[in-house]
Amino acid sequence: MNCILLPESDIALPYAQINDPAQITHVHKVLSLQLGDTLKIGQLGGNLGTAIINEMTPNNIQLADVQLDTAPPPKLDVTVVLALPRPKVLRRLIMDMTALGVRDIVLINSYRTQKSYWQSPLLARLDEFVLEGLQQGVDTVAPRISMQKRFKPFVEDELASLITHDAIVAHPYSELSLTQYLQRHALQSAPSTKAALPSVVCIGSEGGWINYEIELLAAQGCQAVHMGSRILRTEAAVNVLLGQWLLHNS
């Protein structure tokens, strides 16, 4: 955790309290903070700031001189459409995408998504994984997450409304590389402005998309791109792709 995020109900300026066992353990055992030390905190959905540790017990930490005066970092202007992966992979991906600042996440069914994934108890813990990602990335605003269990109706009826300026789909067997796509995009942009990245990126689960899915996505304006000759795991593909948005926003 690079900051401790608290719900509004635990903050009464200029005071606050930490009740979450994992956060308390982190303060005691990882940060090794003592009375009078300064702690980086934030309010979920609000600002970031600092506080002074005023009282510590094994089950509660009281904070004083709470100052929440720093706005959270801007979200990445992108919607990630992700084919639901294996549950353990999903946990890491939700944390990573949240830490990276993704604005919207759509978890979608695909041909290679096993039906059992949709019954995983981890789907009920997405808020927990989002909180971990926010505390890692020092952010307070959670991504919007939706789940779409029917691929074709979503792609044909809803995907187009999410595409404000272009869309790409990661596909290792496409003819166009991500680098070529970005270069082409830059040439088409005005010289005085940054080239806008796509507003939607579609990423398959392990095994990727089948041809039918690629064709259906293409019909809605999604350009297939590859990232080189190596076949990447879903986690690697997500981080490689979203790194472009981080660099673009820096």
User: What is the layout of strands, in order, in the sheet containing 222-225?
Assistant: 144-148, 102-108, 76-83, 200-203, 167-170, 222-225
Half-sphere exposure of 181 (CA within 13 A, CB side): 23
Q: Which of 70, 87, 121 is the last residue of a domain?
A: 70
Percentage above 90 pLDDT, the chain: 78
Instruction: Mark whether 171 and 235 lie in a shared domain.
Output: yes
Q: Which of 70, 88, 111 is the last residue of a domain?
A: 70
Residue 189 confidence (pLDDT): 63
Q: Which of 70, 97, 127 is the last residue of a domain?
A: 70
Give the model's confidence band at 212: pLDDT under 50 very low, under 70 low, under 90 confident, else very high. very high
Instruction: Write out the residue range of the structural domain in which residue 26 sits.
Output: 4-70
pTM above 0.85, yes or no: yes
The angle subtended at Cα 72 by Cα 70 and Cα 75, nearest 5°, is 155
